[in-house]
Amino acid sequence: PPPRRGVCVSESREPCGGEAAEDARRGAEEPGGAAGRVAGEVREGAELFCDDEDDDPLHDIEKWRYPKGVGREEAVKQLLKVIEEYIPGQSGVDGGGFEVTNRNERGDGYVWAQFESEKNGFIDDVEFLVEEGGTVCVRSASRLGYLDMGVNAKRLNWIAGGLRALGWEAPDITTRTHFEYFDPFNFRRSPSVL
């Protein structure tokens, strides 16, 4: 299938990041050819969590927000600190560890990390674009396969929890917010049974 656009958008449905996101995409190596930047091309079926240009309840999440009074530079530092404290193997995911491959090198708020599964060495790309004004675009995508068995949600929920402890707004991904993600084959017919 043709690649699908995975673009983070603002509440006004405008692409987030602008030139900074574009520059970040051009400036970093393509992670395994499977994923783009926060606002870039991803192949069909990759699990991604960001405000997508399509109305896609399976993949969309709200932008995260850092606290008022915290500037973008400090927000990036807080985000990196929480990522660096991440525990490989938490909730049974990412037992192979992780590496932060872009730490806002260009000063544009872009952070990219790669997380590895323990058994098969599968790599997932996790990207953040910390914007001026308090918002953060978030994307977590498996490079291979269509189903991820909840791995991307567990990872983002762990990171979100660490950021909420610092005053951020970063809601968890749950069966109530993303029923189709957790039940992609619609085995359970109604979210009310969860």
Token pair of 136 as six digits: 């953060």
Alpha-carbon gap, residue 78 to 73, rounded angstroms: 9
Name the residue type at position 31. P
Three-class SS state of 25:
helix
Write the DSSP symbol of residue 62.
Answer: P
Cα 55 to its chain centre, rounded Å, is: 17
Three-state secondary-structure class, residue 182: helix
Amino acid at 37: R
Q: Note the pLDDT tens digit of each residue in 101-131.
A: 999 999 999 999 999 999 889 999 999 999 9
Give percent of the chain above pLDDT 70: 64
pLDDT score, position 90: 92
Tens digits of per-residue pLDDT, 26-77?
A: 434 444 332 344 544 443 444 556 654 566 666 788 899 999 999 999 999 9
Q: How many C-beta neighbours within 10 Å does residue 139 have?
A: 31
81: enclosing H helix or E strand:
helix 72-84
Instruction: Report the candidate in 113, 96, 94, 111 with the shortest Cα–Cα distance to residue 154.
Output: 94
Cα gap 147→101, rounded to integer Å: 25
137/52 Cα distance (integer angstroms): 10
Mean pLDDT, the chain, rounded, equals: 75
